[in-house]
Structure 1
Amino acid sequence: MTSPLPAPPHLPLDHYDWTLIRHQLDAEGWALLPGFFSPDATRQLAQADSAATLEALRPLLYCRLLPIARTWAEALQQDTPYPDDFTTWMQHNRNAGQTRPLSAIHRLGQDDYQPLTQHADGDAVFPLQLVALLSDPDKAFTGGEFVMTEQRPRMQSRPMVLPLRCGDAAVIAVSHRPVRGVNNVYRVTARQAISRVRAGQRVGLELLLHDGR
């Protein structure tokens, strides 16, 4: 019988400098959370069938990331209401016809990859999400780098490789974020991908704070 997964409250949300994380998200569109999952939690999650056991983590992350979401929405002149509590936010999702879970554990084998994508389908989209690596890039697989691209106005796309190690997580922009230029704020479009796995199996986690249509 499979042992139960560890309860999400043990995760070290309080161990990180969230002011620094906010600055990194504003500057780069992503921020690394090293050692987010313990070795035991990482192993158990890597063997799980879905990310449903981490449902209790969503409201905790929502509260941490809510100030950033509101600041970004204001800068982009978006009229998206982000309520104080996650339960009310989920009701906004249901009212918008968004009931499909987007969080998932992904397993990519040799020659598999994830093409460029973004989870921005719907009227109630939270602009930040969590991604994590649940297998060891030194032992379990090669290749499979987590890649983000940003498209800035009148500029070529900028690729970024996130330096994820086993058990690490990162908060990333889901689709759009504001960037302050010399004269004004402009809109940057972000997408994410996973490069081709050359050997072994890569196991990763995506945790979204909104649901899909």
Structure 2
Amino acid sequence: MTSIDTAVDHLDWVDIGGQLDVEGWAVLPGLLGPDAVRDLAQQARASGTGWERLEFSDLGCGELRYFDTNFPIPLTALRSALYRRLAVIANRWNETLDVAHRYPTSLDEFLQLNRAAGQTRPQSHLTRLGVEDHLALHQRSDGEQVFPLQLVALLSEPGDDFDGGEFVMTEQRPRMQSRPAVLPLRLGDLAVIATAHRPFKGSRGHYRVNLKHAVSRVRRGQRIGLELSFHDAP
């Protein structure tokens, strides 16, 4: 077992599962570790190639760089270790919603199902947002194989490296106004969030609610972030 597996197993998964059930998100403080944060932030600050500039598109305004074959090894190990634990929660959510589908226990098996469904385009990416940049409300839920949880992380320090740029989630329940939440992310924090839907217990039992996420306008400096998806896009 690797050190990453050990760190993930030592997390309080009862508490994490409870937070995801109630809020649709849970922050895992400092899980990335200082070395991984520093390396990823250096990659993002380098001008380099592969950056896609968003100019007031449906996704907002800023820069994205997708991980293709150059997925960093620490993130590969972390994503696999977290998938193993989160698959248990994902399967419990499906059982709660009376959905027959069950997710396999390992990320490799799940990605094989992705490839069989024609989903081969990676969705995990770095974000680089400067002054006046933002990410609009969105969700990455295209394809037959969609994992209901994903990861986000902050690679800059709020208040020092940038101002603004809060990570925001909204939850839409039937016949109700959207419920917003601002996640309290600090440098190196990782958060598990619902990809698009989660179970919610109403007066007549559980039903599915819709979630989206965004990053508010950066007012000063540069905000570097990370999104890790477990499923690929068609």
- Indicate whether the TM-score tops 0.5: yes
Query: 1:8 Cα deviation (Å)?
Result: 7.9
Q: Compared with structure 1, are the counterparts of its residues 11 and 205 closer, same or farther at alpha carbon in structure 2 (3 Å cutoff)?
A: farther
Match of residue 70, structure 1, among 75, 78, 91:
91
Q: After superposition, what is the alpha-carbon deviation per residue over 1:31-61, rounded to whole angstroms, capped at 9, x for unaligned?
A: 0101112223211111225651022222211
Match of residue 16, structure 2, among 21, 36, 50:
21
Q: Give yes or no for the alignment of 1:204 onto 2:225.
A: yes
Letter of the 1:9 counterpart: I
Match of residue 97, structure 1, among 90, 99, 118:
118
Distance in 1 separating the partners of 2:43 and 2:4:
18
SS in 2 for 1:105: strand
Query: 1:83 Cα deviation (Å)?
Result: 1.4
Q: After superposition, what is the alpha-carbon deviation per residue over 1:134-168, rounded to whole angstroms, capped at 9, x for unaligned?
A: 00112100000000000001100000000000011
Gaps of 5+ in 1: 1-6
Q: Compared with structure 1, are the counterparts of its residues 62 and 144 closer, same or farther at alpha carbon in structure 2 (3 Å cutoff)?
A: same
Identity of aligned residues (%): 57
More strand by share: 2
Query: 1:12 Cα deviation (Å)?
Result: 2.9
Q: Is the CA contact (8 Å cut-off) linking 1:128 and 1:171 kept in structure 2?
A: yes
Distance in 2 separating the partners of 1:31 and 1:81:
22
Misfit runs of 4+, over 3 Å: none
Distance in 2 separating the partners of 1:76 and 1:48:
41
Query: 1:123 Cα deviation (Å)?
Result: 0.7
Q: Give yes or no for the alignment of 1:61 onto 2:75.
A: no
Q: Give yes or no for the alignment of 1:109 onto 2:166.
A: no
Q: Compared with structure 1, are the counterparts of its residues 38 and 195 closer, same or farther at alpha carbon in structure 2 (3 Å cutoff)?
A: same
Letter of the 1:107 counterpart: R
Task: Map residues 1-213 of structure 1 onto 2, 5 A cutoff.
Answer: 9=4, 12-48=7-43, 51=67, 52-53=71-72, 54-213=75-234
TM norm structure 2: 0.84
Letter of the 2:172 counterpart: Q
- In structure 1, the partner of 2:50 is none
Letter of the 1:210 counterpart: H
SS in 2 for 1:47: helix
Q: Compared with structure 1, are the counterparts of its residues 11 and 110 closer, same or farther at alpha carbon in structure 2 (3 Å cutoff)?
A: farther
Gaps of 5+ in 2: 45-65
Number of aligned positions between the proteins: 207
Query: 1:81 Cα deviation (Å)?
Result: 3.3
Q: Is the CA contact (8 Å cut-off) linking 1:80 and 1:124 kept in structure 2?
A: no
TM norm structure 1: 0.92
Q: Is the CA contact (8 Å cut-off) linking 1:32 and 1:171 kept in structure 2?
A: yes
